[in-house]
Amino acid sequence: MILLDGKHIAATIRQEIREQVEQLRAAGCRVPKLVIVIVGHNPASETYVANKMKACAEVGIEAEKRAFEASVTEAELLAEVARLNSDPSVDGFIVQLPLPEHIAETAILSAIDYRKDVDGLTPANVGRTVQGLPSIVSATPRGIRELLARYHIATEGKHVVVIGRSNIVGKPIAMLLMQRPYLSLPSMSAASLGNATVTVCHSKTQDLASICRTADIIIVAAGSPKLLTADMVREGATVIDVGINRVDDPASPKGYRLVGDVDFEQVAPKTAYITPVPGGVGPMTIVSLLQNTLQAYSND
Ligand code: NAD
């Protein structure tokens, strides 16, 4: 069993990005710029935004936070999106979700220019991904694909089972892995990604265990601790655990610890490759945002 060390791979990619940004600076070019729009004072969102700002600073990407009170109107936020769309000094921007209830998320996301949509969540980017056109892929699926590529885990002809059908993980990763690979994407090191036979499972799927047992690769993004147990995994399979769940742990100073969706202790010995939680997909997600920002900059 080989651990897919997302922490290590993410550090390698950060170093690659740092060098690329440094080269731009040395050549007298402006550096890439990311703007993060945050609305209200959701503590989790504030932590995510702080982490993203820090990640940018570490690699030399310019990052700017634009904070709005929760009382901001949809029209005011749409005006900000329009302004960022047309600001040539901004390569990419994200609107941190969730938004307050009086603002329609779809209206805001749909208004973002897909070339600056470094979260890859606009209908335009998702549509382009579906059609196999160059697009900005949302961070977690991009990170999973990168992790597979860096460990030379080919997906061509393999049966991939995806558990979860969310817009941010399940649907896009399924779409990416079933595509004919398109090599124009930056930083892909394996030509044999894509071309998989993909089965997408969800909460209404019947006999999940039998379907999983036919998988060469299982990607779990359900948000349910120990959903994937050893009897559901065949010997030599690859398991990618996207889940992040807090479980009570009186022995931990925080009183809880983070676990994925996989019964790691039981499943890991059966696998060829498996991601740990934490330290697997999570670090890849953050670094993917940096890659997307660089991609948006280069597409100018
Ligand atoms: P979600 O929470 O929007 O939806 C969960 C999906 O799992 C649904 O499609 C549901 O049908 C399916 N599901 C739930 N229970 C199931 C079951 N028992 N059997 C089969 N399918 C089941 O999904 P999400 O936003 O993709 O998040 C999923 C998990 O991934 C969460 O734990 C989230 O915190 C985590 N996550 C991690 C990262 C990361 O960077 N590591 C990024 C995004 C999400």
Name the closest-CA residue to atom 3, ligand 1: 166
For domain 138-282, which architecture applies? 3-Layer(aba) Sandwich (3.40)
| Phi/psi at 67 (5° precision) | -100, 135
How many whole angstroms from 163 Cα to the centroid of ligand 1?
8
CA angle 135, 106, 287 (to 5 degrees): 45
Q: What is the pLDDT of residue 300?
A: 66
Distance 219 CA to ligand 1 centre (A): 10
Residue 52 annotated among the catalytic residues of the structure: yes
Strand order from edge to edge, sheet including 238-241: 2-3, 273-274, 238-241, 217-220, 159-163, 197-201
What number of other Cβ atoms are within 10 A of residue 165's Cβ? 17
Spatial strand order in the sheet of 62-68: 62-68, 33-39, 92-95
181 φ, ψ (degrees, to nearest 5): -65, 135
pLDDT over 50 (residue 186): no
Roughly what angle, to the nearest 10 degrees, separates helices 139-150 and 170-178?
40
Residues above pLDDT 90, as percent of the chain: 93
**Ligand 1 centre and the CA of 82: distance in Å?**
31
Q: pLDDT digit string (tens) for 150-185?
A: 999 999 999 999 999 999 999 999 999 999 875 544
Residues 6+ apart with CB under 8 A from 178: 160, 194, 195, 196, 197, 198
Distance of CA 58 to the CA centre of its chain: 19
The model's pLDDT over 200-239, given as tens digits with 9 standing for 90+, comes to: 999 999 999 999 999 999 999 999 999 999 999 999 999 9
Residue 95, beta-bridge partner list = 37
216 a catalytic residue: no
Query: Looking at the chain, how many residues does it have?
Result: 300
- Tell me which of 3.90.550.10, 3.40.50.620, 3.40.50.10860, 3.40.190.10 is the CATH number of domain 28-113: 3.40.50.10860
Ordered by start, the domain boundaries in the chain are 28-113, 138-282
pLDDT over threshold 60, residue 190: no
Average pLDDT, the chain: 95
Q: Is 249 a catalytic residue?
A: no
- For ligand 1, atom 23, the nearest C-alpha belongs to 166
| pLDDT (tens digit per residue) in 92-125 | 999 999 999 999 999 999 999 999 999 999 999 9
Q: Which pTM does this prediction carry?
A: 0.95
Residue 299 has a pLDDT of: 84
Label residue 290 exposed, middle or buried (CB < 10 Å: 0-12, 13-18, 19+): buried
